[in-house]
Structure 1
Amino acid sequence: MASQTAEEAMKAVRGIFEQYHNIRKARCYQGYDVDLMKNLKLVAATPKGTTTYELLIDERYSNLNGVMHGGAAGVIFDMCTTTALGPLSKEGYWDFLGGVTRTLGLSYLKGVAVGTTVRIHSEVIQAGRTMALIRGSMESLDGKTVYCTCDHHKVHVPTPEENKKFRPGGEKGKL
């Protein structure tokens, strides 16, 4: 069932992070998204499927020109937009990390200098039984500069059984 309050929406998104970190620790996973999932700061989430994060763009996310690497922007958007499905999720409906990416289209508008803290906003535009569209933007903290935007199309796939035991509250835990 979709969350009814902003507090419940925040809890749903935090639950995704908790499950991610539980799986990561159990499997000793050290993929390139680990630092991102440790450093994202959740600022807001709403029951209609929006999230807002802040993230310091440091050298881990940069290229040799001292700005955020385009590939890093893709990973950032992939994770941030996906978690916007958290407040809408229920067993069998966009649970855990919401499935797989079908397409992720980014528009780069302005380079993000290393040392800049950005705000990433994501909004679920449509979520059906098997497909979803989430839009994202990465902006300056004051909202005056838009660095890049994305349209993220996702295809729902069931949460693998072995990942269900890592849910907050265990396998039968609320999503």
Structure 2
Amino acid sequence: MAEQKHLRLSPEVMAKFEDYSPEERIRAVLAIKAPNDQRFSSKFIEEQCQLRDVKVLSDKHAVVTFAFKVDLYYCNGSGNLHGGAQSSIFDMCTSIAMQAIGKKDFWLNGGVTRVITVTCLRPAPEGEDSLLECEVVQMGRSLALLQGTLKREKDGIIVSTCEHHKAAVPTKPGWKL
């Protein structure tokens, strides 16, 4: 069985990652490529997710906006973005948004999810251009609160919202930045 290539930053990027600007860190994460990795996260990050804007409002508060087109791969039987897919997309994007705040020895690995609550308000049909606004509301030494709002790009109507609680964890051996 062939060895699975895991999504991770290259050694060259990892060596400088903590010195990058918030936007550079987010772009580095979005640039990770593993073409044979068929995981949901790989497909979304590599093929759909695009960074639109990064606003660092303080040393613990930021808003990051991503754009994507709803792909059939993420739709349910009615042709709309699946609620479970929305939850995974919120999880990935709010976690990536943390890079707008992360710094040496502080949240650079994104931590782990404690609780994620997604409220779906209306459908997002296949082909819909969407904006995902991710807010880092607060980051402490061990806990963080993130929020997300998924909107239709054409009119700004809210499709779903998310509240995401995270916990800091040590970086897995071999993944140290």
Alpha-carbon distance between aligned partners in 2 of 1:45 and 1:130, rounded to the nearest angstrom: 23
Change (3 A) 1:57 1:140: same
Question: 1:8: how far off?
Answer: 2.8
RMSD over aligned Cα, in angstroms?
2.0
Contact 1:118 1:138 in 2 (8 A): yes
SS in 2 for 1:33: helix
The correspondence for 2:52, drawn from 38, 43, 60, is 43
Amino acid at match of 2:73: R
Structure 2 segments unaligned to the other structure (5+ residues): 1-17
SS in 1 for 2:165: strand
Question: 1:144: how far off?
Answer: 3.2
Aligned to 2:73: 60
Aligned to 2:27: 14
Q: Percent identity?
A: 29
Change (3 A) 1:163 1:17: farther
SS in 2 for 1:37: helix
Question: 1:90: how far off?
Answer: 1.5
Contact 1:9 1:46 in 2 (8 A): no
Contact 2:129 2:154 in 1 (8 A): no
Change (3 A) 1:75 1:40: same
Alpha-carbon distance between aligned partners in 1 of 2:163 and 2:142, rounded to the nearest angstrom: 17
Structure 1 segments unaligned to the other structure (5+ residues): 165-170
Question: 1:161: how far off?
Answer: 2.9
Aligned to 1:88: 101
Deviations 1:131-171 (A, max 9, x none): 0000100001144310000000000112223123xxxxxx5
Q: What is the total number of aligned residue pairs between the two structures? A: 154
Contact 1:8 1:47 in 2 (8 A): no
Alignment of 1:1-175 (within 5 A): 8-18=21-31, 21=32, 24=34, 29-38=37-46, 39-48=48-57, 49-96=62-109, 98-164=110-176, 171=177
TM-score when normalising by structure 2? 0.80
TM-score when normalising by structure 1? 0.81
Alpha-carbon distance between aligned partners in 1 of 2:65 and 2:156, rounded to the nearest angstrom: 16
Question: 1:16: how far off?
Answer: 2.6
Question: 1:17: how far off?
Answer: 2.8
Deviates more, 1:146-155 or 1:84-93: 84-93
